[in-house]
Amino acid sequence: RLIFAYRTSLLLAAVVLVLAVPIGVVAGLAAGYQRGLTETLILRVTDIFLAIPSLVLAMAILGLFEPSLPMAMVAVAFGWWPWYTRLVYNLTRSIATEGYISAARVSGARPTRVMLSEILPNCSGPILTKMTLDAGFVILLGSSLSFLGLGAQPPTPDLGTMVAQGTPLLPDVWWPTVFSSLAIVIAVLGFNLLGEGIRDLFGVDI
C-alpha cells in the first residue's frame, strides 16, 4: 500500500509542476523583458499570491469544491506558479543586460524569439533545480491536504490519508502511522538531495 501511495504522491507532484512551471516561466519572462506596465501588473499579482501560504490557499480553494485528487492538484498548482515567476523574473533581469541579447535585438529578433531562444535556455538550470526541490515540498503539501481530508479520497492509497487513518489507533497500532510518515520523509529527503546534486551540477544558487 505504501508503494501504491507513492504513485499517487509522485503523480501529484508531476501534475502540479507541469501546470505551475509554464505559467510561472512565461509570466517571469514577460515581466523581466517587457518591463513597464506588464512588469508592474505581473509582479503585483505575484506578490498577492506569495502573501498567502500555499497550504492556506489550497485549503480555501478545496473548500469550494468536493475534495478529490484532481482538485487538489489544481489547488496546489494555483498557488505554486508565483515562485517560478519571481525566479525567472530575476534571472531575466540579469540576462537581459548581456551583450548577446543586445545583439539579438539589433539584428531584428522579435521579443518572443529573444525570450524563448536566448533567455529561456540560460534559465533552464535554475528552473530544473527548483523543480526538483519543489517536488518534495509538493508531496508534503499534498499529504497535508490528504491528512485533513481535502486531498485523495479513500479507497485511493495516499500517504497523508494513511497517516490520518492510523492516528486514532496510536499507540497500540503504531505501524500504519509511523511507516507512512517515514515514507513521506524519505520522499522529501530524496528529492532534496537530488535537487542539491542538480544544483551543484549546474553551479546555480537558488
- Which residues, 6+ apart, have CB-to-CB distance to 179 below 8 Å? 2
**Angstrom distances, CA of residue 77 to CA of 121, 157, 204:** 23, 21, 24
Tens of pLDDT, residues 164-177: 988 888 888 889 89
pLDDT of residue 103: 84
CA angle 39, 41, 44 (to 5 degrees): 100
pTM attached to this predicted model:
0.86
- pLDDT surpassing 90 at residue 111: no
Angle of helix 69-78 relative to helix 54-62, nearest 10 degrees, comes to: 140
- pLDDT surpassing 80 at residue 206: no
Tens of pLDDT, residues 130-175: 999 899 999 999 999 999 888 888 888 889 999 998 888 888 888 9
pLDDT of residue 205: 65
Q: Which residue has the higher pLDDT, 21 or 169?
A: 21
Backbone angles phi, psi at 65, to 5 degrees: -130, 170
Q: Which three cell numbers stand for residue 26?
A: 512565461
Distance CA 108, CA 60 (A): 47
